[in-house]
Structure 1
């Protein structure tokens, strides 16, 4: 995908920024000590990141700021939809898993879709940190980044929250379920 395709028209940028600002103001507990004007300045300087945030929004992720990385001076956005984003469910884990399915293939894989969106899947630590902000995935589950050793053996990891605890599980990477999607993270 070329860079020019990863830029939103000005009117769409304004609409997205309005949605993001309202979500930011409504959910202040997710990003204590961070001011919207600083986030917007970063977004204005990185229009390709707005494109990725629009993809997160379009697929039901409800992205919001969840932190700031002082080392890289980047704001961290993550999908904050209560359940795994609806537009990113029924996906196997990665392109290899998708290719290995002989029949009943899902439309895409989590890793390939995330890459096309310009985002990354959360890793287990990030998923657990997100759950400290508020409860997510009470009825769904989300694929997470998987260690190469696990993936090499055909597996992949996913997480959810049940019984007020966060659980990490494994499944065959080629599996897919209507209630499993993925949550993304984006640094701006």
Structure 2
């Protein structure tokens, strides 16, 4: 009988993570003007599984931070705000089908599987472009983004980066992986 992994942090881990998130929130007010940390912390404390996901984002060097608020869902939106694609999520192909299609030199994981195991979603192209409006990200790395089904059905996947002060969208075989390509995630709390 396998033991189910509990997606909950210890009280010490919770306290440490909340302190890190609060400090980042206060240092980067331009990302979330008009928001109050106390309201966000209350939401986080009421959602231990979401806190666990934010811990996963933090432990893979994503530097999650609040970037918006969804009024319809009454939820704060967190994105990975690390300057470059998170170090702990690089060298991954796009999804499980791409991983299984590789005959040799398989990466350890895929972006879509990794995101699912963390309880987050990979940014869409639109979300990625929105992130680039509040800062400059991926100037040396690139990040997989959610790929439209018609592209994926043909074996491709898309990724984005920022070069020459512009955001670019590119394509690659979904089975490809590079040391400088990872993915950024989003989470609603």
> TM-score normalised by the shorter chain: which range applies?
over 0.9
4+ residue segments displaced more than 2 Å: 1-4
1:85 counterpart residue number: 86
| Aligned-partner Cα distance in 2 for 1:182–1:2 | 29
> Aligned to 1:75, what secondary structure does the other structure show?
strand
The offset of 1:71, in angstroms, is 1.1
Alpha-carbon displacement from aligned partner over 1:76-130 (angstroms, at most 9, x marks no partner):
0000000000000000000000000010000100000000000000000000000
1:101 — aligned with what?
102
Question: Matched residue of 2:79: which SS?
Answer: strand
Q: Show the counterpart of 2:159.
A: 158
Gap regions ≥5 residues in structure 2: none
Relative to the length of structure 2, the TM-score reads 0.98
> Which residue pairs with 1:55 in the alignment?
56
Q: Quick one: distance in 2 between partners of 1:2 and 1:95?
A: 24
Q: What RMSD, in angstroms, separates the aligned Cα atoms of the two structures? A: 1.2
Aligned residues: 188
Q: What secondary structure, in the 3-state scheme, does the structure 2 residue paired with 1:18 have? A: helix
- In the alignment, structure 1 segments of 5+ residues that lack a partner are none
Q: 1:175 to 1:157 in 2, by over 3 A?
A: same
Paired residue secondary structure (1:76): strand
TM-score by length of 1: 0.98
Structure 1 residue aligned with 2:22: 21
Shift of 1:2: 7.8
